[in-house]
Structure 1
């Protein structure tokens, strides 16, 4: 066993996203370092032209022309938690709708918030762009508002299908979203914008209960029960057209896909894989991980996604250094309450599986699944010592201290992998 008491820091200076800034640290000589980042694919030179191309060349013959003659169009968009360039997409889409005789007065934009808080009207110009907000009616989904939901059946997996009635009342139905890695649905967007974005709490809870199944995992589409349930429900409810974008790390549009809710989404996933899936030659002894800075590290609830992606990088029994500011602390009471239901990660997982599935509690299961595989050192100004104890992690005051702790625990460590944009990165072996 080598003794690395006082490392000489010469090899690599690190700069890790953290909140709206960065953490810095250095690694010693003799360590093999691998940085895992999304592929830097250039954005298209004219984003509006790319959206227009996608609408004029729809995949699966489900284009705007199919909406000719409808009475009312609903367009589902994401809330501010996703950087979808709606201000680029919507003007082109409205132009195409106007061209087939659909007036702005016949269009409603529905902000699909899922179980997030409803989007207030003052956020509408930020979500859809000020020009569009002034042109058409914009409303927000609210999964808990009386009378906002309507049940239309049950999926083959037993998921009750509760959907926003404004969506169901429209005879022209369009979804806009961005395709990004998702830790148990595989990839976001497609029919997820409807089923989760505009679904009821019972629908979302029943679908997300599939996350305990091994096939419900990061980057997997085929055979993934959570994704297949969502897509089945999308087909039962009805979707005329989707418009999905794939973005690079600078939020530039790499590709726009439009058309049939399954065919266009799968074509988009193929592009997203080129951006997000990064070959990694070997598992690391230590992984240094950031969700990607604010808002992805706004709280532990959100930062868990980065931890999950980072868990794929490290050997069993290795160390993950999670760098997450967490200015809002834990972020969800059910998450923390469930973490306190056991004294070990294994106990928390057992308690979760034995109880009724509830949103919030599922994050404790996902968090503890990482803790079973690796030890976690947290660098976070927003998490105090008591919260760190509840989360069953150790705290370090800064990145350099965390590196020193990890290398002291693993004196034979040879490989350190750094993933600074973990939420947008899928390591593949």
Structure 2
């Protein structure tokens, strides 16, 4: 059977044996027939609080937190509607914060493609959050787990704060969007490091789709409770990046509703694990680099047998990438086991260690192949991955040489579909 994979901007087609292959995709929900009207309706009929337009007085300073370029958030559609509701506020009093977390600064061309001409050319302030610049951060307290809370100073000072988020299952925080647009989105490096330390990442509840009892989600929620947004708008999208639902109002009520919808559409229960799982990282922009592609590997890991093989197709137009410490950490050790030993040592702390920890944990149990037109052989080997030129040929080889009568599963949309095993004999993955 021919299967179209989400890969870069153009896609990739593979051909696998019909009788041995299963395909798992998110439940397709068509885009809203009039997303602009839906957004306006949500802003004017919010959950739990007053409509946005009635919540803000002229002269107040406004902060709006938005996703960075690594997320397919339809900010170009959402922002004009929000800004139209704020026509009584002078543009110079409105700041749009790019919630980068520890990601790189977004370029002007990326900001234009993300936010649109009205936001870029309308006299609004645009701020790329910088988690590493202590001069632009304020320490505002500590969590119950003694995590220091550093937040963007300009954001804290705003009279009225608005968060906008894209909600989907997240591989260790449960779900994206909602409170994540404050922390880690607008948090300082020290806060982010503690939210992503090895104990947090290795906790069995730090999983896709789990919020209750997830220590990472609990800490993020605690920070957002101490320093909440005044108004939240969260959306879900389909594989065509069309808006499928809109929720606005009080942050936690909004996020809960969006998470329930995302769980219904994106998470799929399967009865048995597979020998081979072919996955993606949902195409551009999510597969811009190998760092992000770990999410696609993690989605596949939920349903592959121990000793099975994962093949991840990710274009990686931005490479490893060059920014951050992910690539440096990977190359610092000779094996996934030595990476885990290093990261879990008590004195180790380095930016991006969480992504390496998750990747190495997967590689400890499975062979992981990468199909990428932008990574060199040295880069692939340096990441302890196995190269593959043609996915169809590689699957055929694995079935004939390693897994006779084996089973294959394909996740064409990568982590936009999160499969899970309700019962696993070896106890690796249990969702409740």
TM-score, normalised relative to structure 1: 0.90
1:22 and 1:73 map into 2 onto residues whose CA distance is: 39
2:87 maps to 1:95: no
2:39 maps to 1:51: yes
Superposition map of 1:63-142 within 5 A = 63-64=51-52, 65-68=54-57, 71-98=60-87, 101-135=88-122, 136-142=124-130
Contact 2:24 2:410 in 1 (8 A): yes
2:107 and 2:327 map into 1 onto residues whose CA distance is: 27
- Equivalent residue of 1:238, what SS? coil
2:109 and 2:16 map into 1 onto residues whose CA distance is: 46
1:105 and 1:331 map into 2 onto residues whose CA distance is: 35
- Cα gap change, 1:338 to 1:120, in 2 (>3 Å): closer
Gaps of 5+ in 1: 1-11
Partner residue, 1:7 = none
Kindly state the Cα deviation for residue 296 of structure 1 after the two structures are TM-superposed.
2.5
From 414, 420, 427, give the equivalent of 1:422: 414
- Cα gap change, 1:90 to 1:313, in 2 (>3 Å): same
1:63 and 1:338 map into 2 onto residues whose CA distance is: 47
- Equivalent residue of 1:282, what SS? coil
2:207 maps to 1:220: no
- Cα gap change, 1:409 to 1:157, in 2 (>3 Å): farther
TM-score, normalised relative to structure 2: 0.90
Alignment root-mean-square deviation, CA: 2.1
2:282 maps to 1:292: yes
1:122 and 1:388 map into 2 onto residues whose CA distance is: 29
Aligned residues: 415
- Cα gap change, 1:427 to 1:169, in 2 (>3 Å): same
Contact 1:151 1:162 in 2 (8 A): yes
- Cα gap change, 1:32 to 1:156, in 2 (>3 Å): same
Contact 1:215 1:223 in 2 (8 A): yes
Larger radius of gyration: 1
Kindly state the Cα deviation for residue 41 of structure 1 after the two structures are TM-superposed.
0.3
1:87 and 1:378 map into 2 onto residues whose CA distance is: 32
Contact 1:70 1:171 in 2 (8 A): no
Gaps of 5+ in 2: 422-432
Superposition map of 1:312-351 within 5 A = 312-332=302-322, 334-351=325-342
- Equivalent residue of 2:378, what SS? helix
1:72 and 1:292 map into 2 onto residues whose CA distance is: 37
Partner residue, 1:21 = 10
- Cα gap change, 1:62 to 1:156, in 2 (>3 Å): farther
From 242, 265, 269, give the equivalent of 1:252: 242
